[in-house]
Amino acid sequence: MNETSIIKVSDEIQEALKERKPVVALESTLISHGLPSPLNIDVALKAESILRDLNVVPATAALIDGYLRVGLNPKEIELLGSSNEVTKTSFNNLGEVIANKSLGATTVASTMFAAYKSGIKVFATGGIGGVHRGSEADISADLKALSDLPVAVVCAGVKSILDIPKTLEALETLGVPIIGYKTDIFPEFWTTGRGLKLKITASEAKEAALLLKAHWEIGLNTGQLVAVPIPKEKSVDQEIVENAVNESLNEAAEAGITGNAISPFLLKKVSEASGGLTLEANVDLILNNVQVAGEVATQMAND
Ligand code: PSU
Ligand code: MN
């Protein structure tokens, strides 16, 4: 079997790409490991319908039966959102999940890879991984993907459970542009941000598309971030987030949680510690990012 036959892109997506119609990639780790069931299934289906309403083809990625699939049907999305046997899949275990034909959810890194291999330029998620707080050796493979793969990731910045200033430094070193969408402050996932300044901003989707294209047209081949703040009225209070994150980090240390289990553990604990506020915000910011990604992809396809 060759590489391309392991990657299966749906007919609809192949057709859309051939006709240069807008397509937006979506990941599946936030479905299987980021949000509780059955809310996760609702969010995943809603994300697809937001794109369809914009005449953009959704391309949710996952690993099913030994294939890296791009474009799922609703039954497959439900399976990812309800099964307890979904492997969170990044670069280090993509081959293993394919070989064992197990059910796998794609992270930002592996979804960028799926998008790149299929010719999709725009991808929407919640927040990217980065440098973990307190354990600087734990750096998400999302940063490697952003360094290596020319895909635009529309996100609400970096998850607030991480060390955000250190993650921003790493992105700068890797040469990954960060385009603030209607903001010059770096969004911090559940909050609009504490004031870390951005140098590049776009006031509308068309401008974001122009900036993204210019970076690639000159021959740079990294990923790019379109950083979209959570809508102001939905932003969680910074102090509530900080307290909930600190409490959850302590619990993670006590429970000895390590590796790729840390992010899902922290997301769940922070939600509990904030009385559900961060969970609600997580849903809001994901759907908001999907809307912006659809608009940006439409502009990218417009010429
Ligand atoms: N955005 C969300 N929820 C999530 C994620 C993103 O709103 O759960 C996932 C993404 O798949 C991202 C992963 O790649 O969290 C980061 O995990 P880690 O820190 O283990 O690299
Ligand atoms: Mn990690």
Question: Which one from 48, 78, 121, 159 is the annotated catalytic residue?
Answer: 159
Taking the centre of ligand 1 as the mean of its atom positions, its distance from the CA of residue 152, in whole angstroms, is 16
Q: Which atom of ligand 1 is nearest to the CA of 127?
A: 1
pLDDT digits (tens), the chain, 303 positions: 456 699 999 999 999 999 999 999 999 999 999 999 999 999 999 999 999 999 999 999 999 999 999 999 999 999 999 999 999 999 999 999 999 999 999 999 999 999 999 999 999 999 999 999 887 788 999 999 999 999 999 999 998 899 999 999 999 999 999 999 999 999 999 999 999 999 999 999 999 999 999 999 999 999 999 999 999 999 999 999 999 999 999 999 999 998 899 999 999 999 999 999 999 999 999 999 999 999 999 999 986
Q: How far apart are CA 127 and CA 208, in angstroms?
A: 18
Q: How many domains does the chain have?
A: 1
What is the atom index within ligand 1 of the atom nearest the CA of 259?
20
Our answer to whether residue 27 is catalytic in this structure is yes
Instruction: Give the domain CATH number at 236.
Output: 3.40.1790.10
Q: Is 269 among the catalytic positions?
A: no
For residue 33, the ligand closest to its alpha carbon is 1
What lies within 8 Å, CB to CB, of 101 at 6+ separation is: 65, 66
Q: State the distance from the centre of ligand 2 to the C-alpha of 256, rounded, in angstroms.
A: 14
The reported pLDDT for the residue numbered 136 is: 74
How many angstroms does the Cα of residue 302 sit away from the middle of ligand 1?
A: 30
Ligand 1 pocket residue status of 30, Cβ below 6 Å: yes
pLDDT for position 264: 95
Show the domain range for 261: 3-302
Total number of residues shown for the chain: 303
CA dihedral 222→215→23→26, nearest 10 degrees, is 40
pLDDT value for 137: 84
pLDDT at position 300, please? 97
Assess contact for 195 and 185: CB atoms under 8 A: yes
Atom nearest to 27 CA in ligand 1 = 11
Q: Is the CB of 284 under 6 A from ligand 1?
A: no
- Is the model's pTM score more than 0.95? yes
Q: Tokens in use for 96?
A: 């293993």
Residue recorded with tokens 């859309």: 16
Q: CA angle 236-241-245, nearest 5°? A: 155
Amino acid 1: pLDDT: 47
